[in-house]
Structure formats: structure tokens, C-alpha cells
Amino acid sequence: MAEHHVATHCPYCALQCGTELTGDTGAVSVSPSWFPVNRGGLCRKGWTAPEVLGSADRLYEPLLRNEHGELVATDWDDALDLVAAKLRDLASEYGPDAVGVFGGGGLTNEKAYSLGKFARLALGTSRIDYNGRFCMAAAATAGNAAFGVDRGLPFPVTDLDEAEVILLAGGNPAETMPPLMQHLEGAELVVIDPRRSATAERAKLHLRPRPGTDLALALGLLHIAVSEGWHDAEYTARRTTGFEQAWARAVGWWPERVERVTGVPASAQRQAVRMLAGARRAYVLTGRGAEQHGDGADTVAGFINLALALGLPGVTGSGYGCLTGQGNGQGGREHGQKADQLPGYRLITDPGARAHVAGVWGVAEESLPGPGIPATRLLESAGTAGGIRALLVFGANPVLSAPHAGLARAQLSRLDLLVVADFLPSETTRMADVVLPVTQWAEEEGTMTNLEGRVLRRRALLPPPGRARSDLEVLSGLAVRLGRSETSFPTRASAVFDELARASAGGPADYSGIDYERLDSGEPLHWPCPAEPEGGSPHPGTPRLFLDSFAHPDGRARFTAVDWHGPAESTDHEYPLVATTGRTSGHYQTGEQTRRVEELSEAEPESFVRLHPDTAARTGVHDGQLARVSSARGTALARARLDGSMRQDTLFLPIHYPGTGCANLLTNPVLDPRSGIPEFKVAAVSISGVEEVDT
């Protein structure tokens, strides 16, 4: 077979580094391209990504669970017929909301759009959400409230090259998205993280708050900015509203009080504000560490308030942004797979949005269901009275990624039907009644939207292997069996994108001026990019938002009045320590892909827990020993790694491991009331050593 070559993008994080793939079905090689975000660089996940394409346990044919409880091969017609029949029966008996849909932030824009359309038209259910609820919901909620629109970075990544100071709250890009670090090299970094991460090691100033106190620290930094004369009063008067209300909450958070709550010295707080305020080009960035809390949206709002008080957002060379995590974490939340949204980042409760999208879909507006429920609650409702009886999962592994993973597994086991579309076996496929094999990133066409709102083309190098089909084909096949026409659910990615563009027209995330021809020509198109007016020139896209005005009707950004009340769970005699979770450089998300790459798996083969040597001494845990970490929800086993840079009250566990090493066996499913994000970053725990017996 002739060797092929395509330009595409890495399948992992939201940087979406440019890559070039060469090869055929026998072997594929990757090399980085000179794309703006990575400029010829890749992390080791990107370099090894092609290995996953040929995984020995790749899913090649549909599987059905037989009467003996075994998953056995079947053909596509039997699989789709069975799924459609069961979905019809369950909806007939319990109502359309008895069927749930769970999507993923790694799905292409076309898949995310089709999934939302499928749920609301073919199924008629409101019960759809996606795994971005676990990681981006807090920042999205806070960004929309403050600016009127949510885009991870409202400026190109390359703008960070000229920054003098960057405050990074709860992010560790040196491990999670290493190519980003080249854009931060010229800046002095202020890193807020309870542990000394690889990013914190490069910081000019490292603030180490107790987990769960990030909002108290943000309030303290705002207090210093205002009380010590760093506040840009002219900017806030001209471009914002709500300052007085926000300041009324922050006025009581003087530095010494913040030090008592967070453990961050008052002198370090003052130094951080002086560095930011004294720079001509400064940025405030947030990541998962600030967001995955029971007060996650308020915490992000606290840092946005700081940025607004210093006059940074909407100013050339300065700003606020959020480091979106998943590959299509931005686009995946824009086109309808979120519980409360329709395509174009429209609210499903907005009558105008409903009318517009219903018109594109050719249905009556009143036929569209209303908003659904957040992902955690969706999973918890499985098998309960009034909850879902069936769940379709596309591009996610909630058995491992959901908080209180033991409960998530128990609830999903109560379903009458669990259908999973994936390309590799996972903890979720192993529980499924039906497994549908789908294509991977190098086997499909489509688009992704990276963290800076730039729409990118994903291109296929290889044909679908075995009997795998694209997710678009799967959704179309099911929709037709549920009574929809084939034309309503096209299977060609470009046709789906053209419809997506029409559906998004006029919305905050307007793609109506974008098509495959423009993308394939290499134009750097950031949304919003509305359709060209009659006789006009094509819109060039919007790489920088807010330079003239913010997206609220009055053009002003909003301060949000927030206050800190502490995490949902406190330590006590039984659980005296705090566990926080995160990522490592070699693995991605639940690790289903990266743990299949030999180089990455050998580097980090098992779950581990980092703890301070003094903590280990108090609890009788030795370096390298298997340790038992327990919370009120469950127990995880992890290899102890003593680390003198850790806080003595804090443990750290990575999120990438299954079985007894699953960190989410510990985490708290309490939700932020504003965004629905779970509190992954704070769990009260105990730790003890495990005596291993050689066998």
C-alpha cells in the first residue's frame, strides 16, 4: 500500500499542536509542524500518539452481552437494531428522559453537534451532558458571567510570548501541556498550587495554599490590590460594573487573615500583587486546580475580579484566560452536548435560540426538550425512580472519571441498557451491554477548536480498521431506526459542519462564516466568525475578544460578589489529611490511551501518592511502600513517594489509573451550585502502609 501523508493535530490536550502524519495501515509516524501553539515541538504524549492506533486490544467489531454475561461479537445491524428497540421500549414505558446521553470533550465539533441533535430529536430527551462538566464547567460559568461569553483564551496563545508577569492559579502546563511553556519563558511566573509542581519549580514566586482555600487567596489578592493603591479605578469605572459589591466582600480579607486561612504568607501575597500590577503586560490564567471545587465558579470569579481590578481583560498585551484541558474542551461545549446548551453556545432556555435551532433542524420549537442535569447527577440518577434507565456513552470513561467512582459504578450497574461507543476497551466498555467500535483521530475527518478559539481541521490518514465506523455513522444508523430520515443525520463530516455553522449563526460561538474550504486553505479562523454579508468580504475571524467591548449588552464586564466559606468536607480525627488529584506528564485523562504506550506506561506504571516525609513518619508509611488512602467514600491503593516539597497536610494522587489505584474512589461528588462541577481537589483522607506479601 502506498504511503500517505496528512497535516493534522495531536489527539490529546487543548493546545491541539500541529502535526504531520506519514504512513499506512502497517505503521504511522508523526512529526511536529510549525503551528503557532507548538512551533515545531511536541510533548512525549504527542510523539507516541500513533502507537495507540495499533493497540493489540483495539475494538474492531460490535459486541453484545449474551445470556452468560459475556461480550461477544455481532454484526452492526443486530447491534443497532437491538439498541434502537430497547431505547424505544424504555422511552415508551418511562418517558423520553429515561434515556441519557454522555459525551466527551475529545469528540470533534461535528460529533458533539450530532450527539446533541440526536439526543433532542431522535430521543427527545433532556438528559444529555458531557465529561467537560468535570473540568471546564466552573471556568465557563464564571467567564460567561463576567464577560458575556466563554472562550478559554480570548487571545492567541502567542500573545503570552510578550508577557512580563503571568499569574497561574491551579495550572501545571509544564506537565499537562509542555509546548505551552515556550510561550511563558519570557515572563516571571507567579504560580498558585499547594504542591511544588514542575511549573511551580520554574516560578519566580510560588504560593502554596491549603487545598480548598484558593478563593480566600483570590479575595486577599484583590484586597491588597485595592487597599494598597494598585487598583485601576479609571478602567473599572469605564469598562466594568459591580466593583463596589465585589469589594464589599473582599474588604474583610486582609493579608494576615488570608495567611491564617490559606497558609500563604502575607508578604508573598503582597509580592504577587506588586509583580502583576507593576508589569506593563500581565496575565491571570486559571486551571483545574482553581476550578474543581464545590465553589469552583466563585473561585474563578475571584481571580477574574483580581484581573478586572488591575485593568487587564480586553487590553492588548494583557488579559485573563483559562487553560482548557481536553482536546476539544472548547468546541465540545459549544455545540449542544452540554445539558443547558444548543449549538453556537446558546442557552436552551432562550426562546430565540430555540426558535433558530428548531428552524435549522426543521422541527417545531416546542418539540425541543428543556435543560438537563449536570453529568454527576445524571450518572447518580441511573436506575433510580425518575432517573435514567439507559445511557449511551460516546468518547468518555465515566466509570473512572466520575467523582466517587465506586458509586458511579454501582449506579451504572443498575441500568437496563448501557451502550458505549469507543475504540479501546475501558472500565466503562467492560460494564456495557453493547459496545460499538468507532474510529480514532487519524482515521476520521472533522474539526476541533483549541483553547484559543481557533477552529482546526482534523484529517484522516487511514481508513477505518476492521468493522469500525465513525460516530457520525453510528448516530445516523440509530436515528434512522428511531424514525428520523437519513438526511437529518448526515455521515459526511463536512456536511455536518455546514449545518453546525448555520445552527450557530448569531450565537456567541458563531461559526457561520467558516467552512472546510477556508480551513483547508490555512486561514487562521477564530470564532466568532459570522457569515459574510450580501456582497461583503468574508469575516476574518476574531483572534482577540473584548478589545472594544465585552459581550454583555452594555459592553461592560461584570465583577462578581463572592466570598469563601470553606470546602464541603473538613478534616477530622478519622481523616486528618487532605487529598488532591491531578495529572502527570506521561498520561492523559483516565489513561486508556497513554497506558497502552509502552514508553509512557513503563515511566509511570502504577498509581502513586506523594506525601511529605514528616507526614509519612507520623503515619508509618515508608518511601516505595504500597499505601492505603481512605476517605468516607472508599479506599485507593497507591505507591508512596516521599516528597519534601509537599505540604504536610496534603497528599497528591494522579487521576490516570484504574482498579484499586483509582483516585476517584476517594473524591467527593458534592457539586458547585453554579456550574455543577464536582469537588475533585479536596477530600478528607487518612493514609497507612500496606504490608505486601510475596507470592
- Helix ranges (DSSP H) in 389-482: 398-401, 405-412, 471-481
Contact 178, 43 (CB under 8 A): yes
Q: Report yes or no on 514 lying in a domain.
A: no
Contact 165, 190 (CB under 8 A): yes
Confidence of residue 693 (pLDDT cuts 50, 70, 90): low
d(C-alpha 337, C-alpha 146), whole Å: 23
- Residue at a domain's end among 32, 54, 76: 54
d(C-alpha 120, C-alpha 431), whole Å: 25
Query: In this structure, what are the phi and psi dihedrals at residue 321, rounded to the nearest 5 degrees?
Result: -155, 165
Q: Report yes or no on 539 lying in a domain.
A: no
Q: Is the dihedral of CA 140, 143, 148, 149 positive or negative?
A: negative
d(C-alpha 648, C-alpha 577), whole Å: 8
Neighbours of 372 (CB within 10 A): 23
**CATH label of the domain that carries residue 340:** 3.40.50.740
Model pLDDT for residues 51-73, shown as the tens digit of each residue: 999 999 999 999 999 999 999 99
Same domain, 276 and 418: no
pTM of the model: 0.96
Amino acid, res. 528: P
Contact 114, 489 (CB under 8 A): yes
Contact 286, 300 (CB under 8 A): yes
Model pLDDT for residues 296-344, shown as the tens digit of each residue: 999 999 999 999 999 999 999 999 999 988 989 999 999 999 999 999 9
Element (H, E) at 653: strand 650-654
Confidence of residue 235 (pLDDT cuts 50, 70, 90): very high
Model pLDDT for residues 562-579, shown as the tens digit of each residue: 999 999 999 999 999 999
The string over 649-663, giving b where at least 16 C-beta atoms fall within 10 Å of a residue's C-beta and e elsewhere, is ebbbbbbbbbeebbb
Q: Which of 620, 616, 614, 594 is nearest to 605 (CA)?
A: 594
Give the residue-averaged pLDDT of 584-590: 90
641, β-bridge pairs: 610
Give the residue-averaged pLDDT of 332-358: 96
Q: Which of 66, 160, 656 is nearest to 405 (CA)?
A: 656
Contact 382, 98 (CB under 8 A): no
Contact 216, 298 (CB under 8 A): no
Contacts of residue 173, Cβ cutoff 8 Å, sequence gap at least 6: 180, 181, 184, 199, 287, 323
Q: Which of 293, 309, 292 is nearest to 249 (CA)?
A: 309
Same domain, 163 and 291: yes
Cell of 616: 509519612
Q: Report yes or no on 334 lying in a domain.
A: yes
Same domain, 286 and 146: yes
d(C-alpha 643, C-alpha 365), whole Å: 58
Model pLDDT for residues 472-503, shown as the tens digit of each residue: 999 999 999 999 999 999 999 999 999 999 99
Q: Report yes or no on 201 lying in a domain.
A: yes
d(C-alpha 116, C-alpha 131), whole Å: 14
Amino acid, res. 425: P
Cell of 60: 474492531
CA-based R_g, the chain, Å: 24
Model pLDDT for residues 378-393, shown as the tens digit of each residue: 999 999 999 999 999 9
d(C-alpha 331, C-alpha 110), whole Å: 9
**CATH label of the domain that carries residue 34:** 2.20.25.90
Model pLDDT for residues 676-685, shown as the tens digit of each residue: 999 999 999 9
Neighbours of 536 (CB within 10 A): 8
Same domain, 40 and 110: no
Cell of 108: 470533534
Q: Which of 386, 410, 403, 381 is nearest to 670 (CA)?
A: 403
d(C-alpha 217, C-alpha 286), whole Å: 13
Give the number of C-alpha atoms closer than 13 A to the C-alpha of residue 333, restricted to the C-beta side. Answer: 28
d(C-alpha 531, C-alpha 510), whole Å: 9
**CATH label of the domain that carries residue 177:** 3.40.228.10
Q: What is the pLDDT of residue 653?
A: 97
Q: Report yes or no on 498 lying in a domain.
A: no
For residue 3, give Cα distances in angstroms to 24, 27, 466, 680, 681: 5, 9, 19, 45, 46
Element (H, E) at 159: none
Same domain, 396 and 426: yes
Give the residue-averaged pLDDT of 2-20: 93
The dihedral formed by the CA atoms of 564, 568, 571 and 574, expressed in degrees to the nearest 10: 170
Model pLDDT for residues 438-471, shown as the tens digit of each residue: 999 999 999 999 999 999 999 999 999 999 999 9
Q: What is the pLDDT of residue 120?
A: 98
Cell of 366: 416546542
H, E, C per residue of 7-63: EEECCCCCCCCEEEEEECCCCEEEEECCCCCCCCCCCHHHHHHHHHHHCCCCCCCCE
Confidence of residue 4 (pLDDT cuts 50, 70, 90): confident
Q: Which of 573, 582, 571 is nearest to 609 (CA)?
A: 582
pLDDT value at 694 more than 60 = no
Neighbours of 549 (CB within 10 A): 15
Same domain, 46 and 94: no
Q: Report yes or no on 72 lying in a domain.
A: yes
Q: What is the largest CA-CA distance in the chain?
A: 78
Q: What is the pLDDT of residue 695?
A: 38
- Helix ranges (DSSP H) in 447-489: 471-481
Contact 148, 550 (CB under 8 A): yes
Contact 643, 612 (CB under 8 A): yes
Same domain, 129 and 149: no
- Residue at a domain's end among 12, 30, 54: 54
Q: Is the dihedral of CA 49, 51, 57, 59 positive or negative?
A: positive
Domain count, the chain: 4
Contact 331, 82 (CB under 8 A): no
Q: Which of 534, 487, 459 is nearest to 361 (CA)?
A: 487
Model pLDDT for residues 390-421, shown as the tens digit of each residue: 999 999 999 999 999 999 999 999 999 999 99
Contacts of residue 593, Cβ cutoff 8 Å, sequence gap at least 6: 11, 49, 52, 424
d(C-alpha 358, C-alpha 354), whole Å: 6
Range of the domain at 613: 577-689
Same domain, 291 and 153: yes
**CATH label of the domain that carries residue 677:** 2.40.40.20
By the 10 Å C-beta count (0-12 exposed, 13-18 middle, 19+ buried), 248 is classed as: exposed
Q: What is the pLDDT of residue 534?
A: 75
For residue 495, give Cα distances in angstroms to 9, 111, 117, 210, 640: 21, 12, 14, 50, 52
pLDDT value at 1 more than 60 = no
Q: Is the dihedral of CA 641, 174, 42, 11 positive or negative?
A: positive
Cα–Cα–Cα angle for 219, 221, 227, nearest 5°?
Answer: 100
Contact 45, 594 (CB under 8 A): yes
Model pLDDT for residues 186-217, shown as the tens digit of each residue: 999 999 999 999 999 999 999 999 999 999 99
Mean pLDDT, the chain, whole residue set: 96
Same domain, 367 and 280: no
High-pLDDT (> 70) share of the chain, %: 99
Q: Report yes or no on 557 lying in a domain.
A: no
- Residue at a domain's end among 290, 305, 323: 323
SS3 state of residue 464: coil
Same domain, 189 and 67: no
Same domain, 187 and 292: yes
Same domain, 127 and 219: no
Query: In this structure, what are the phi and psi dihedrals at residue 212, rounded to the nearest 5 degrees?
Result: 95, 0
Q: Report yes or no on 560 lying in a domain.
A: no
Amino acid, res. 213: T
